[in-house]
Structure 1
Amino acid sequence: MIETYQYYSENFKFERDENGILTVRLNRPEKLNAFLYSMFDEIARLWHDVEEDPDTRVVIITGEGRAFSAGNDLSQPDADFEQTVKLLENGRKRTSRVLAISKPTIAAINGPAVGIGLAVALMCDITIAAEDAVLIEGHTKVGVTAGDHACLIWPLLMGMARAKYYALTSEPITGQDAERMGMVSKAVPKERVYEEAKEVARKLAGMNPRALAWTKRCMNFWLTNNLASYELSTALEMLNFFESDIVAARDEFRGVK
């Protein structure tokens, strides 16, 4: 593993090419790259480490196998109070750091992206989605507030009316429809997703890094100035964890009779 990232678990894979393009792969393909609680810790640390990495000019994040990420792994035990507080803090770090990072971030959404997985993807600067990828906000399906990112960025991407509709219903959106609505930068055939992301990364890697960083900084004011909405939505999501009917909602989602 690249030295900077040697302390990450096997659930993340790292590779770098000669142009300073770092590719990060979520690496639980047998579980559609669903997040374990330990991965929430790692994704919060990732953007800090990328920013401090002198050999990286652009970062691509994608999923190993046929999915980007199916979201939180619901087969793990429900979080207790201390774990919930940790998740809340990790979410705050993850979101503020990805907005502050000076280097361009690209999500190659190669397949299904749900919940935290979709949040990781859509908070990147540039999003390349497979035309047939399924994007789902997902939180309301398991009985919790749409935290993570939707309240912060969806109204800006697709307008308030659509943002409310898809966040409240958790209806799936294809990559092709996401491009049409302005939710992702571009939709391409599945087999072209990573190569398209790599082509964009090569272009950015050859440009003035300070020009890119300062352009990002200015544009991200739209989001950084509204981080309070993110923190509120995530805090309310965490409160939902302790409602009496949350177990029933999760069991229904898991298909437990």
Structure 2
Amino acid sequence: MRYEDFQFLLFDRQPDGVLLVTLNRPEVMNATNNRMHWELTQIWSIVNEDPAVKVVVVTGAGERAFSAGGDLSVVEEMANSQEATLRVMKEASDLVYNMLACDKPIVSAINGTAVGAGLTVAMMADISVMAEDAKLTDGHARLGVSAGDHAAIIWPLLCGMAKAKYYLMTADFIDGKEAERIGLVSFCAPRAEVLAKSLAIAAKLARGSQAAIRATKKSLNNWMRQAGPIFDNSLAMEMLCFLGPDVKEGLAAVRGKRAPDFPSARLPQ
């Protein structure tokens, strides 16, 4: 692929070899449809091979969201199609491992709500800057499926097992200040300053020793690679959940803007 082949990612070359990548579906808060989800798996190898790029900054279009998760139509498709589930499972795996394989530093500018595949990009970035009043949630348990996209491979490393278990099992939202406090993101900042701070960090990295920075990233990423079997298992468990009745109730509850009544939570009669 070439940069011009992407439909839902915008590219803006900054000084010093910094590439700004913008998730661009602002009319739906940058939620990922099938095409955008696939594009997020492809971009990392392209920037990795681009000699003009030293650092990547990724953010969301508009003022409301980094990415508000996956389109509900995609979730519904997965709940009713093994083919769709297997496709998304492969792409979810590729997204995580392709980001790990990218030698160049990735900075996420989390300018608003972050959920789902977009949250994967935000959290798997090497450095993250989040708006103080923005909110993120893994969100899977809220839908009736287990946390699988990226959480098991990195949340315990970022914020510790106690916080990871709580937030992944409850799917509670976390704002930028709390995310920074528990170590889930590198920094928080006022919303208006998030992108500027992220670009400043990227520019600093771009002026540094590229050999040293990339080798450091590669070494530290081995912590995540060690957790690869944990991630692979979590992803498989997530997909199994799409075969059960809870996800259908979760989907209906989200669409109806009501609390879910999961079949698995009901006491036996």
Interval containing the TM-score (normalised by the shorter chain): over 0.9
Which one has a larger percent helix, Structure 1 or Structure 2? 2
Q: Take 2:19 and 2:42, find their aligned partners in 1: how far apart are those partners?
A: 15
Query: Tell me, what secondary structure is at the counterpart of 1:78?
Result: helix
State whether residues 147 and 233 of structure 1, in contact with CA within 8 Å, keep that contact through their aligned partners in structure 2: yes
Structure 1 residue runs of 4+, over 3 Å off?
A: none
State whether residues 36 and 73 of structure 1, in contact with CA within 8 Å, keep that contact through their aligned partners in structure 2: yes
1:221 maps to which residue?
A: 222
Aligned 1:105-254 pairs, distance under 5 A? 105-254=106-255
State whether residues 33 and 67 of structure 1, in contact with CA within 8 Å, keep that contact through their aligned partners in structure 2: yes
Amino acid at match of 1:36: N
Q: Take 1:52 and 1:13, find their aligned partners in 2: how far apart are those partners?
A: 18
Q: TM-score, normalised by structure 1?
A: 0.95
Q: Aligned residues, how many?
A: 254
2:18 maps to which residue?
A: 21
Q: TM-score, normalised by structure 2?
A: 0.91
1:39 maps to which residue?
A: 36
Amino acid at match of 1:236: M
Deviation of the 1:94 alpha carbon: 1.2
Q: Take 1:55 and 1:187, find their aligned partners in 2: how far apart are those partners?
A: 29
Q: Structure 1 residue 4 and structure 2 residue 11: aligned?
A: no
RMSD over aligned CA atoms reads 1.3
Deviation of the 1:256 alpha carbon: 6.5
State whether residues 4 and 53 of structure 1, in contact with CA within 8 Å, keep that contact through their aligned partners in structure 2: no
1:52 maps to which residue?
A: 49
Output one character per residue of 1:159-198: Cα deviation in whole Å (capped at 9) or x when no partner: 1111000000000100010000001000000000000001
Structure 2: 5+ residue runs without aligned partners?
259-269
Amino acid at match of 1:41: W
Amino acid at match of 2:16: N
Query: Tell me, what secondary structure is at the counterpart of 2:5?
Result: coil
Q: Take 2:218 and 2:66, find their aligned partners in 1: how far apart are those partners?
A: 27
**Residue of structure 2 aligned with 1:73, choices 71, 74, 89:** 71
Output one character per residue of 1:80-112: Cα deviation in whole Å (capped at 9) or x when no partner: 211211111112211111112110000000000
Amino acid at match of 1:184: V
Query: Tell me, what secondary structure is at the counterpart of 2:120?
Result: helix
Output one character per residue of 1:218-241: Cα deviation in whole Å (capped at 9) or x when no partner: 111110111111111111111111
Moved more, 11-20 or 143-152: 11-20
Query: Tell me, what secondary structure is at the counterpart of 2:77?
Result: coil
Structure 1: 5+ residue runs without aligned partners?
none
1:85 maps to which residue?
A: 86
Query: Tell me, what secondary structure is at the counterpart of 2:97?
Result: helix
Output one character per residue of 1:111-135: Cα deviation in whole Å (capped at 9) or x when no partner: 0001222111000000000001101
Q: Take 1:237 and 1:38, find their aligned partners in 2: how far apart are those partners?
A: 21
Q: Take 1:190 and 1:137, find their aligned partners in 2: how far apart are those partners?
A: 21
